[in-house]
Amino acid sequence: MQAEKTGALIRTLREEAGLSQRDLAQALQVTAQAVSKWERGLGCPDPSLLPQLSRLLGTPVEGLLSGTLETQDGKGGSMKHLLFYLCPHCGNLITSSGPAQLSCCGRTLEPLPYRAPDAGHTLRREEVEDEWLLTSPHPMDKDHYLSFCALVTGDRALVVRRWPEWDFQVRLPRREHGFLYWYCTRHGLFRQVI
């Protein structure tokens, strides 16, 4: 932890949050002089204070330790850049329209890499009225199944969860262009341009 960089970041984030040094000190149960000392780069917060300081300032602990915040490259916001994050412990599915620092069950999550479908991971698509009916012969066993399917266009995303021991059938609104994603619990995320 570099005291000067961390202190400057604490000051910036404290001011953005509309907190005085005294407000921050009271919330952390330290003196205002301690906060002033940190902000001037003459010392660092005790490591035991970092989780609470992180919550109060709305930044990850890693940002406080490095004294910098990661900024986006401008690709965020468009659904075309949707990223999928899956917790390996509880199966929680999280999406983000750009790179993000996400965690679940105490684990840092990385975005799922996608690939083109292979012969064992194809979806059949047929038109039914104004929808697509997606089906797959993929196994739907407890330890090997397709757990979700998503239709992503420039302005929206529709995610449908599936469960083991059910046939894989999904109805999605028919769209002109976009991406179709599906996730196999054993082989990962697949993407097809539609």
Please state, rounded to an integer, the average pLDDT across all residues of the chain. 89
How far, in Å, CA of 158 to CA of 167, rounded? 20
Q: Percent of the chain having pLDDT more than 70?
A: 96
pTM for the model stands at: 0.68
Q: Which of 187, 188, 180, 148 is nearest to 164 (CA)?
A: 148
**Region(s) of the chain under CATH 1.10.260.40:** 3-66
> What's the topology of domain 3-66?
434 Repressor (Amino-terminal Domain) (1.10.260)
For 113-193, the fitting CATH number among 2.60.40.730, 1.10.1740.10, 3.30.750.24, 3.40.50.10490 is: 2.60.40.730
Question: What pLDDT, on a 0 to 100 scale, did the predictor assign at position 69?
Answer: 76
Instruction: Please say if the pLDDT value at position 181 is more than 90.
Output: yes
